[in-house]
């Protein structure tokens, strides 16, 4: 079997959109667009580019600021700006490249700026992501639950919140032309995937700030991504999410290893910027603490949460250091001024985690069964796969209701002045359960 084939038996309900776009919605609503994968790449994003042309022209110059945050060193930044204007003409994937060229032409934006938008955004997003067992609000006490994927996206650029969109991908030439194959929450003009769901799988990407510990190889990798010589991490996630080219994952050779964990072990081998990746099926989830190449993986059958600071893997799988001790301890003095929006990482993660622990305590339930020898395992926030513990689902663990999960996501500090959106996704049905746009009470850049 493959990860792509981890699909539920229930069918996906058809989307209720008959046109490519709506009239521009109110400021607190995220517009939904249908992207027809049966169309040539040049035609898929034309309506979005028309509707958001003015906003795209306004945000394109922000790439100067993004360059400074990614590449850090002034000489490299100056060189990169020159190369961007001279050489930045494509991304690695041919279909995405054709989509981007069409967006730039339709919106009247320089091509290199749209390419920059598509190669930088995935590196700088503060987020709170995770999974939790959820049941319907009116479900009986003994009703089964399955995992849902929660996610907020925070960033200090309110201009980008004006171009938030939900994309519903369809194939008009298939036997079910109106059925959404996958859904993505993203920005107009961005063709990769940062947050997405399809029947059987949901995924999200969180920024992993290594502060002043960037390596030459990771910077060199980012330059190659800029020049279209390597795929961005958001492009790789798109290949996982979308048919017909979704990444197939072979079954694990070890019968005790799930295909999701096997997929994670394979995915960490790809070069990418340091980040956190959260993948969930209806039954289990993994969090990858991704390095440039390699990384550490946690696994769960129920709750797991990841914000923007590392889990301490030095005691379980031999990680060389614990980068984010200051963030975990909420030591704001050690965080650079231009990264203060990350300072609430531990507070956000702990808020959701504490609510889950309180819920479990009220029900007298425990997390996934198995021996918990380390503080991380005892915390109920996933287990490092390197510990080789055989975790099992706990059938007695009752999930929270959808309304409770939404309340967690809409509460401070998870939903804050930097939040672009909060959402919950259902990897069983492939639906976006709820999506709320943030108010962003911060000045424009």
Helix (H, G, I), strand (E, B) or coil at 33: strand
Helix (H, G, I), strand (E, B) or coil at 275: strand
Residue 311: what pLDDT?
Answer: 77
| Cis-peptide into 63, omega within 30 deg | no
The 8-class DSSP code of residue 82 comes to H
Residue 180: what pLDDT?
Answer: 97
Burial code of 29-68, b = ≥16 C-beta within 10 A, e = fewer?
A: ebbbbbbbbeeebeebbbbbbebbbebbeebbebbeebbe
Residue 369: what pLDDT?
Answer: 44
What is the model's pTM?
A: 0.84
Compute the half-sphere exposure of residue 104: CA atoms within 13 Å on the CB side of its CA: 19
Contact indicator for 41, 102 with CB cutoff of 8 Å: yes
- Per-residue pLDDT 10s for the chain (445 aa) are 445 444 333 333 333 333 344 434 445 789 999 999 999 999 999 999 999 999 999 886 676 666 666 666 778 777 777 776 777 788 999 999 999 999 999 999 989 889 888 887 766 666 899 999 999 888 777 778 999 999 999 887 788 889 999 999 999 999 999 999 999 999 999 999 999 999 999 999 998 876 555 677 887 888 788 788 999 999 999 999 997 655 555 444 454 568 999 999 999 999 998 899 999 999 999 999 998 899 899 999 999 999 988 877 666 665 555 555 555 555 666 666 655 556 688 889 999 999 999 999 888 755 454 444 444 444 578 888 877 555 666 655 679 999 999 999 999 999 998 899 999 999 999 999 999 999 877 666 5
Distance CA 154, CA 420 (A): 6
Distance CA 445, CA 62 (A): 8
Residues 6+ apart with CB under 8 A from 64: 81
Residue 37: what pLDDT?
Answer: 97
Strands (E), 136-181: 146-154, 164-170
Strands (E), 307-371: none
């Amino acid at each position: 079997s493959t990860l792509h084939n981890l699909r539920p038996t229930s069918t996906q309900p058809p989307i209720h959109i008959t046109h490519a776009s709506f009239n521009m919605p109110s400021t607190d609503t995220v517009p939904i667009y249908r992207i027809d994968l049966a169309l040539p790449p040049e035609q898929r994003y034309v309506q979005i580019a028309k509707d958001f042309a003015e906003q795209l022209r306004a945000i394109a110059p922000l790439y100067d600021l993004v360059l400074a945050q990614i590449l850090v060193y002034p000489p490299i930044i100056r060189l990169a700006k020159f190369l961007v204007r001279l050489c930045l003409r494509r991304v690695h994937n041919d279909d995405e490249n054709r989509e981007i060229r069409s967006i730039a032409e339709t919106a009247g934006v320089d091509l290199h700026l749209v390419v920059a938008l598509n190669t930088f955004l995935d590196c700088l997003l503060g987020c709170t992501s995770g999974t939790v067992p959820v049941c319907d609000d009116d479900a009986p006490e003994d009703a089964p639950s399955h995992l849902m994927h929660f996610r907020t996206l925070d960033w200090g650029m309110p201009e980008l919140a004006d171009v938030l969109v939900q994309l519903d991908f369809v194939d008009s030439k298939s036997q079910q032309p109106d059925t959404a194959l996958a859904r993505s929450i993203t920005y107009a003009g961005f063709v990769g995937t940062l947050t997405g769901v399809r029947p059987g799988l949901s995924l999200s990407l969180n920024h992993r700030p290594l502060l002043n510990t960037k390596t030459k190889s990771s910077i060199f990798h980012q330059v190659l991504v800029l020049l279209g010589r390597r795929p961005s991490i958001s492009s790789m996630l798109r290949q996982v999410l979308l048919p017909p080219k979704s990444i197939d994952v072979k079954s694990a050779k070890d019968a005790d290893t799930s295909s999701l964990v096997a997929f994670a072990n394979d995915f960490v081998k790809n070069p990418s910027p340091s980040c956190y990746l959260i993948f969930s099926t209806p039954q289990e989830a993994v969090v990858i603490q991704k390095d440039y190449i390699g990384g550490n993986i946690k696994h769960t059958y129920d709750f797991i949460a990841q914000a923007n600071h590392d889990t301490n893997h030095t005691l379980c799988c031999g990680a060389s250091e614990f980068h984010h001790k200051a963030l975990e301890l909420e030591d704001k003095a050690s965080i650079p001024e231009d990264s203060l929006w990350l300072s609430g990482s531990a507070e956000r993660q702990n808020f959701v985690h504490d609510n889950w622990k309180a819920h479990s305590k009220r029900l007298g339930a425990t997390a996934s069964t198995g021996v918990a020898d380390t503080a991380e395992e005892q915390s109920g926030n996933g287990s490092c796969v390197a510990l080789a513990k055989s975790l099992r689902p706990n059938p007695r663990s009752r999930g929270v209701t959808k309304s409770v999960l939404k309340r967690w996501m809409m509460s401070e500090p998870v939903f804050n002045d930097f939040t672009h959106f909060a959402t919950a996704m259902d990897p069983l049905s492939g639906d976006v359960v709820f999506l709320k746009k943030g108010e962003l009470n911060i000045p424009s850049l």
